[in-house]
Structure 1
Amino acid sequence: MAKYIGLTFAALAGLGFLSQAQAEELCQGFGPQTPRDISQTAGLNTSSVSIAPSADKLNLCNIHTHTNAEHKGPGFTVFAGDGDHGGYKCNETADLTEAELAEPAGSAFHGVKPGDTIEVHWVHTSCNITPGEGLGSCLSDACANPQLRVEAQVFLVVNDPKALSFLDFDYDGNIVNGLHQAKSLPESTGTPVTFIGSTTGPSFTQSTCSPLQVTWSVHPQCAKLDINSLNAWAEKGNVFKEDHSHGIRQLVTAPELLAPISN
């Protein structure tokens, strides 16, 4: 081992002497982090955080997408690489037809093409807010520490009008029992896995953790989504000002950063 003295943590990890978690020098004192492999229920982070109410008891505050799945699940296990544009792809990616992979004539929603996987997040808050741009729309001066819940669905994007339409899952000013709600949420992709985690996105890693505590509800299977409906969503405009898909946060694997899953 003497010849390895002076190498960085990352270099030692590459040689197999340290785990990836050790190499990243894990952040300390934070609650459970996200994304994760939802097939794995183990976790050592038992910070006292209660599960948020169901989505129909909260206000929808934001809808956005990530290109490739941030989570790993039974239906999305194909590794797409490291970095901001890595993550996981739907298992059926290699089985799409030529027609499903055909590029549409125009594209108003950027960062996604037929054959891509996206993970859609419907973010909900206990705050009395109006849905809008970014996660800041989930907070307010009168409600800086809300309960947050994210309903997450992974889609395989195809050029097929018979596939699911994103417009069916939009907001469009929908109010139910006095609460802002999506028009609908996916229902045919398996029982969601519910757990405590954090916010995601490429600005966070295992060494740079998110301080916000979030209840996640992640569906385990992919569904096909028509790309033309994503373009229509961007073309007509939306209160979230979303016209492109975002980068991903790499999978959190360190048990110290994961909450145990009970369901």
Structure 2
Amino acid sequence: MLKTSANPNKTPQSVSARSISSAVSSYKQPPSKGPRMLSMRMATSVLSAVVLLGLSHVAEAVTCGDLKTFYKGQQCCGSSSKELTVTVPGCPYNFNPPACNMAEPQTPRDLSTGAQGQMTPKAATLTDAQANFLPLVNVHFHYGAEHKSDSYQNGTDSEAYDASSGRRLASNPRPGWMCATDTLSSSQMTPYTFQYCKGDVQVGKSYEVHYVHSSAGVDSDMTDGINADDLADGLGGAANGRGILNPMVVVQGQVYQIVSGGPTVDDLLHGWTVVGHENSVMYPGSTTGQSWDNSVCSPYAITWHVDKECHQVSPESFDNLCKVMKETYNMEADLYPHGSRKLVDSKFVVKAEYVKPLA
């Protein structure tokens, strides 16, 4: 259940009816496979609803009926722009994303030779052994690399995307940095029909796969400890699985270029431990994705381990990654590539001295 601590000195806060409507409409049951963690969106919506209901102490879980009653009582239906003034009873968590000049260091950072940053981090950076001690809670991939290195630095696709106009949907993700294709032969560029990976996944393109580890991870069988992998779509399990609101999170990022006839990798789901990552760095940053830019930044502090090499893999190997995600872990949303966040301005990433060889 969710609780808020009382604070009689808390001043009223103005919120829109739209936020209540979103809280009600976005409440979804977790998948049926095992005791899944709440998604971040669901947890945020429910906690926001608790605050909006004006409860100083929630002794029982808030029900959908509670939300519906409050929504109707405030006459919000059909009035999405209506402003409400409610007393917020001292909820210790603020889900409003910070302005970048108030946030901790961000990701992705330019990892090319000589790239600079200006921030000194407050969070410690976890090592490779510490990362692998944490449960693997999610695997997903981005269209193109979010990071930039000497090995993947082709920005043609992202420049074309950024120059175009119009609303961008999840079905049209922003491309990141690509590995070079000028040395690939026509046979290496032979198209492949993917059976399990969805959306814009194609031969010749590059994808940054993120292996997300978190101390908030849980196993589908709670009786045998928490360190067994139990993957699910999204990052809710990493951010607040088991109700943990201050987890340690490490993301391992590895870039793969899909090449027909390329090397076979049987287990890309654990690619970080299967494919060599000798040329890797570690640094403190944040979550990524198109939700953040150089104005509004991620509020989460994350350790990053990034392989600076570009690894070629066969399309069959990459499709098998999606096959395992779908058939073993019932994943669906993460079979599609995520959009890539633009490289963060040097003002909001760590100084070079905090980008260290992986240890």
TM-score (norm 2): 0.58
Structure 2 counterpart of 1:34: 107
Matched letter for residue 349 of structure 2: L
Structure 2 counterpart of 1:252: 344
Deviation at 1:85, TM superposition (A): 2.1
Match of 1:108 among 166, 183, 196: 196
The answer on whether the counterparts of 1:169 and 1:185 sit within 8 Å (CA) in structure 2 is no
Cα distance in structure 2, aligned partners of 1:235 and 1:56: 23
Matched letter for residue 286 of structure 2: S
Structure 1 counterpart of 2:319: 231
Structure 1 ranges of 4+ moved more than 4 A: none
Matched letter for residue 119 of structure 2: N
Deviation at 1:187, TM superposition (A): 4.4
Deviation at 1:189, TM superposition (A): 4.5
Structure 1 counterpart of 2:148: 72
Structure 1 residues 173-217: Cα deviation after superposition (integer angstroms, max 9, x where no partner): xxxxxxxxx375254354211111111111110112111111111
Structure 1 counterpart of 2:246: 145
Cα distance in structure 2, aligned partners of 1:106 and 1:126: 33
Matched letter for residue 126 of structure 1: S
CA RMSD of aligned residues (A): 2.1
Deviation at 1:99, TM superposition (A): 1.6
Structure 1 residues 137-191: Cα deviation after superposition (integer angstroms, max 9, x where no partner): 212243111111111111111122x5142x4132xxxxxxxxxxx3752543542
Which consecutive residues of structure 2, in runs of 5 or more, have no partner in the other structure? 1-98, 163-172, 219-229
* Structure 1 residues 1-263: aligned runs within 5 Å: 27-39=100-112, 40=114, 42-54=116-128, 55-80=131-156, 81-82=158-159, 83=162, 84-91=173-180, 93-110=181-198, 111-129=200-218, 130-138=230-238, 139-160=240-261, 162-165=262-265, 167-170=266-269, 182=270, 185-236=273-324, 237=326, 238-239=328-329, 240-241=331-332, 242-253=334-345, 255-262=346-353, 263=356
Matched letter for residue 243 of structure 2: A
Structure 1 residues 28-72: Cα deviation after superposition (integer angstroms, max 9, x where no partner): 210001112113453222231111243222111110001111110
Structure 1 residues 9-46: Cα deviation after superposition (integer angstroms, max 9, x where no partner): xxxxxxxxxxxxxxxxx622100011121134532222
Task: Check 1:159–1:51 CA distance in 2 against 1; reply closer, same or farther (3 A cut).
Answer: same
TM-score (norm 1): 0.77
Deviation at 1:232, TM superposition (A): 2.8
Task: Check 1:191–1:184 CA distance in 2 against 1; reply closer, same or farther (3 A cut).
Answer: closer
Cα distance in structure 1, aligned partners of 2:321 and 2:281: 28
Structure 2 counterpart of 1:178: none
3-state SS of paired residue (1:140): helix
Task: Check 1:128–1:97 CA distance in 2 against 1; reply closer, same or farther (3 A cut).
Answer: same
3-state SS of paired residue (1:247): coil
Identity, % of aligned positions: 28
Structure 2 counterpart of 1:18: none
Structure 1 residues 211-249: Cα deviation after superposition (integer angstroms, max 9, x where no partner): 111111111110101111222333452424332211110
Matched letter for residue 169 of structure 1: L
3-state SS of paired residue (1:94): coil
Deviation at 1:78, TM superposition (A): 1.1
Cα distance in structure 2, aligned partners of 1:183 and 1:114: 19
Cα distance in structure 2, aligned partners of 1:183 and 1:89: 19
